[in-house]
């Protein structure tokens, strides 16, 4: 999709989440925000990694975790399927948490974040394994 289309989509989803939380219940801000954890963590960690390497941040790149997984030889449908499955799993965790009350935030946030960080770890492992097999690392 690229940044040109994904940024407006992200802003629209964020505004929609705040709008729903405002009209329904402000306690929904955290659960609705957790639906975007994949994007926040992937973008944030990618920017930090690029900053540490002193890369020009406004130049095009292929360093997001899902891009690295594709560069490691995974197919687009496989990567999309894994991300969709994890997003559905995250939604399930969030729905269970919302039904448990406000104290559920204590476990809901680390579970969803840990799930995505684990996936990013798999992406990075696969990318490095592929790089080694190609003699790049």
Residue whose entry in the numeric block shows the structure tokens 């891009």: 67
Q: Which residue has the higher pLDDT, 115 or 2?
A: 115
Which of 123, 50, 29 has the alpha carbon at shortest distance from 83?
123
Report which DSSP code applies to 27: G
Phi-psi region of 101 (alpha: psi -120 to 50; beta: other; left: phi over 0): left
Stretch 113-134: mean pLDDT: 96
Q: Which pLDDT band holds residue 15 (cuts at 50, 70, 90)?
A: confident
Stretch 118-129: mean pLDDT: 96
Phi-psi region of 2 (alpha: psi -120 to 50; beta: other; left: phi over 0): left
Q: Which residue has the higher pLDDT, 60 or 86?
A: 86
Rounded Cα distance between 26 and 5, Å, is: 28
Stretch 35-43: mean pLDDT: 90
Stretch 95-124: mean pLDDT: 92
Rounded Cα distance between 137 and 135, Å, is: 6
pTM of the complete model? 0.85
- C-alpha dihedral (9, 35, 68, 124), degrees to nearest 10: 160
CA dihedral (18, 67, 59, 116) positive or negative: positive
| pLDDT of res. 103 | 84
Domain count, the chain: 1
Rounded Cα distance between 137 and 132, Å, is: 5
| Angle at CA of residue 61, ends 127 and 114, nearest 5° | 50
> Which range marks the domain in which residue 83 is found?
2-133
């Amino acid at each position: 999709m690229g940044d040109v289309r994904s940024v407006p989509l992200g802003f629209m989803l964020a505004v929609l989440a705040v709008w729903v939380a405002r009209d329904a219940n402000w306690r929904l801000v955290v659960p609705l925000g957790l639906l975007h954890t994949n994007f926040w963590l992937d973008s944030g960690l990618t920017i930090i990694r690029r900053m540490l390497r002193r890369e020009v941040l406004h130049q095009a790149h292929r360093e997001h975790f899902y891009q690295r997984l594709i560069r490691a030889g995974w197919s687009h449908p496989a990567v999309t399927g894994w991300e969709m499955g994890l997003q559905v799993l995250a939604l399930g965790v969030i729905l269970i948490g919302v039904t448990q009350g406000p104290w559920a935030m204590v476990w809901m946030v680390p579970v969803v974040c840990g799930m995505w960080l684990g996936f990013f770890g798999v992406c990075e492992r696969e990318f490095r394994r592929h790089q080694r097999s190609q003699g790049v690392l």
